[in-house]
Amino acid sequence: MRIGILNTDDVRTELKNEHGQYPEMFKNLLQNPGGQKAHLEFNVYDTHKRILPSSIDENDAYLITGSRLSTYDNFAWIKNLEEFIRTIHLHKKKLVGICFGHQLVAQALGGKVERSKNGWQLGIKKASEIKNHSEFKLKEFNLIYSHQDEVTKPPESAKIMACTKYCQNVAMSIDKHILTFQGHPEFSVDYALALLKIRADIYSNKQINEAKFSLNKNTADKNLIAKKILKFFHDSN
Instruction: Return the sign of the alpha-carbon dihedral for residues 119, 225, 41, 90.
Output: negative
Pinpoint the alpha helices (H) of the chain.
13-19, 22-31, 76-90, 100-108, 189-198, 205-217, 222-234
Distance of alpha carbon 22 from alpha carbon 19, whole angstroms = 9
Q: What is the DSSP letter of 202?
A: G
186 annotated active-site: yes
19 annotated active-site: no
Residues forming a β-bridge with 174: 158, 178
User: In terms of Cα–Cα distance, which of 40, 28, 26 is closest to 184?
Assistant: 26
Catalytic residue among 99, 102, 147, 150: 99
**Residues marked as catalytic:** 99, 184, 186
